[in-house]
Amino acid sequence: MNERDQELLDKQLWGVSPSPPRNGGRTGVAFIAVFLVGIAIGDILFAHQSTRTETASHSMTAALLLLNGMPPIAR
């Protein structure tokens, strides 16, 4: 197989062989951010009136703990 054959084969198989995503990290972070914002908005919109601020604050605290890492357990 010479160089020209290799180039033709590469052109034919460009869609078959998967290449790694070029912006996989940014896509993942964007997906997580949109997911957390959606949870917070849904929690605020559909929470009961009496527990709205309490529930929203708990959800935001949980989201921040997930983003920053869980604190060490106090003994």
Check residue 11 and give its pLDDT.
84
Residue 13 lies in a domain: no
Alpha-carbon dihedral 19, 21, 22, 25, rounded to 10 degrees: -150
Give every residue of the chain whose pLDDT is below 50, as ranges.
Answer: 74-75
Q: Which domain holds residue 75?
A: 22-75
Check residue 35 and give its pLDDT.
93
Residue 14 lies in a domain: no
Residue 12 lies in a domain: no
Total domains present in the chain: 1
Closest CA to 43 of 32, 59, 31, 28: 59
Residue 11 lies in a domain: no
pTM above 0.75, yes or no: no
Residue 46 lies in a domain: yes
Residue 36 lies in a domain: yes
Check residue 75 and give its pLDDT.
41
